[in-house]
Amino acid sequence: MSDAASEIVRLRAALAAETARARAAEAELAQARALASCTDAMIQELKLEIAKLRRDKYGVSSERRARLIDQLELQLEELEAAAAEDALAAEQVAGADATSNVRAFTRRKPVRKPFPEHLPRERVVVEAPTRCACCGSDRIVKMGEDVTETLEVIPRQWKVIQTVREKFTCRACEKISQPPAPFHAIPRGWAGPQLIAMIAFDKYGQHQPLNRQSERIAREGIELSLSTLADLIGHACVALAPIHALIERHVLDAGRLHGDDTTVPLLARGGTKTARLWTYVRDDRPWDGGAPPAALFKFSTDRRKEHPTRHLAGWNGVLQSDVYGGYNDLYLADRSPGPVRSALCWSHARRKFFELADIKAIARKGKKIAEEISPIALDAVMRIDAIFAVEREINGLSAAARHEVRQQRVAPLVHDLHDWMRAERARMSKHNPVTKAINYMLDGKGRWEAFTTFLEDGRLCLTNNAAERALRGIALGRKSWLFAGSERGGDRAAFMYTLIVSAKMNDIDPQAWMADVLARLPDMPMSRVHELLPWHWKAAPELKRIAA
Is the pLDDT reported for residue 415 higher than 90? Answer: yes
State mean pLDDT over 175-199. 84
CA 399 – CA 86 distance, rounded (Å): 55
Measured from the Cβ of residue 111, the count of other Cβ atoms closer than 10 Å reads: 4
Q: When comparing pLDDT for 46 and 124, which is higher?
A: 124
Torsion angle defined by CA atoms of residues 105, 111, 112 and 114, in that order, rounded to the nearest 10 degrees:
140
Q: When comparing pLDDT for 11 and 435, which is higher?
A: 435
Q: H/E element holding 256?
A: strand 256-268
CA 241 – CA 522 distance, rounded (Å): 12
Is the pLDDT reported for residue 486 higher than 80? Answer: no
Work out the pLDDT band at 548, boundaries 50, 70, 90: very low
Q: When comparing pLDDT for 450 and 13, which is higher?
A: 450
Q: For 77, what's the count of Cα atoms within 13 Å in the CB-facing half-sphere? A: 5
Work out the pLDDT band at 299, boundaries 50, 70, 90: very high
Percentage of residues of the chain with pLDDT beyond 90: 40
Interacting residues of 359 by C-beta distance below 8 A, sequence separation 6+: 369, 373
Name the burial class of residue 230, with classes exposed (0-12), middle (13-18) and buried (19+) by CB atoms within 10 angstroms of its CB: middle
State mean pLDDT over 76-89. 60
Is the pLDDT reported for residue 221 higher than 60? Answer: yes
pTM beyond 0.95, yes or no: no
Give the model's pLDDT for residue 156: 82
Please report, as a single letter, which amino acid is at residue 397: L
CA 545 vs. chain centroid, Å, equals: 21
Give the model's pLDDT for residue 412: 96
DSSP calls for 112-124 = PPPPPTTS-----
According to DSSP, residue 528 is labeled G
Most confident by average pLDDT, 200-214, 354-368, 448-462, 478-492:
448-462
Q: Which of 78-82, 236-240, 335-339 has the lowest mean pLDDT?
A: 78-82
Give the model's pLDDT for residue 531: 92
State mean pLDDT over 410-438. 93
Work out the pLDDT band at 77, boundaries 50, 70, 90: low
Interacting residues of 338 by C-beta distance below 8 A, sequence separation 6+: 316
Is the pLDDT reported for residue 287 higher than 50? Answer: yes
Is the pLDDT reported for residue 82 higher than 80? Answer: no
Beta bridge pairs of residue 268: 271
Please report, as a single letter, which amino acid is at residue 170: C
Q: When comparing pLDDT for 488 and 246, which is higher?
A: 246
Give the model's pLDDT for residue 117: 86
Q: Which of 262-271, 346-355, 393-402, 427-436 has the lowest mean pLDDT?
A: 262-271
The number of helix segments (H) and strand segments (E) in the chain equals: 19, 7
Is the pLDDT reported for residue 132 higher than 70? Answer: yes
Measured from the Cβ of residue 391, the count of other Cβ atoms closer than 10 Å reads: 22
Is the pLDDT reported for residue 264 higher than 90? Answer: no
Name the burial class of residue 454, with classes exposed (0-12), middle (13-18) and buried (19+) by CB atoms within 10 angstroms of its CB: buried
Q: Which of 284-288, 371-375, 541-545 has the lowest mean pLDDT?
A: 541-545
State mean pLDDT over 373-400. 91
Is the pLDDT reported for residue 240 higher than 90? Answer: yes
pLDDT by residue (tens digit) across 135-159? 888 888 888 888 888 888 787 888 8
DSSP calls for 215-253 = HHHHHTT----HHHHHHHHHHHHHHTHHHHHHHHHHHHT
Cα dihedral across residues 230, 235, 240, 241: positive or negative: positive
Torsion angle defined by CA atoms of residues 521, 524, 527 and 528, in that order, rounded to the nearest 10 degrees:
-80
Is the pLDDT reported for residue 506 higher than 60? Answer: yes
pLDDT by residue (tens digit) across 470-482? 998 887 766 665 5
Contact 34, 107 (CB under 8 A): yes
Give the model's pLDDT for residue 89: 67
CA 509 – CA 23 distance, rounded (Å): 54
What end-to-end distance do the CA atoms of the chain give, in Å? 79
Mean pLDDT of the chain: 82
Q: Which of 162-166, 385-389, 452-456, 496-500 has the lowest mean pLDDT?
A: 162-166
State mean pLDDT over 409-435. 93
